Amino acid sequence: MEHISIGIYALIIATAVGVSILAKFRPQTIAPFSNVMNHVLSNKTNRFALTFFWWWIGWHFVGSPWPVA
């Protein structure tokens, strides 16, 4: 069962990478990730919420005692 779960995560990441590559070569079909994010981040609530999630990920994953025992 573990492999199925990890496989789903891998599929999501692979799709994201594939879409990014496609957007790089065909920007008229799919807008590049940075364009979408720049547009979304121009609204302050979006910017706060996304920065908050980024902050929390750092706090959750990296904010453990250093060096790790």
Partner 1 sequence: MSYDTAMLKIKGLTLWPVLLIFSAFMQLLRDAYVDGLIYLIAAIVCVLLENKAIESLFVRLRIILAKPFHLVYICAFSSLLFIDVHTRPALFIFILLTPALILVGPQKYIETQNQKAFTRSKYILLGLAIALGLTETGSFLISVTGINDRDFPTISLILDPTLHHDVGRALLLIPFIYVGYFLLFSKEKN
Q: Compute the distance between CA of residue 51 and CA of residue 56 in angstroms, rounded to an integer.
A: 9
Q: How far is CA 46 from the centre of its chain?
A: 14
Q: Which residues bind partner 1 (CB under 8 A)?
A: 1-2, 5-6, 8-9, 12, 15-16, 19, 23, 27-52, 54-68
User: Shortest approach of partner 1 to residue 40 CB, angstroms?
Assistant: 6
CA-CA distance, 64 to 3, in Å (whole number)? 27
> What does the DSSP 8-state code read for residue 62?
T
| Shortest reach from residue 62's CB to partner 1, in Å | 5
Cβ at position 3, least distance to partner 1 in Å? 10
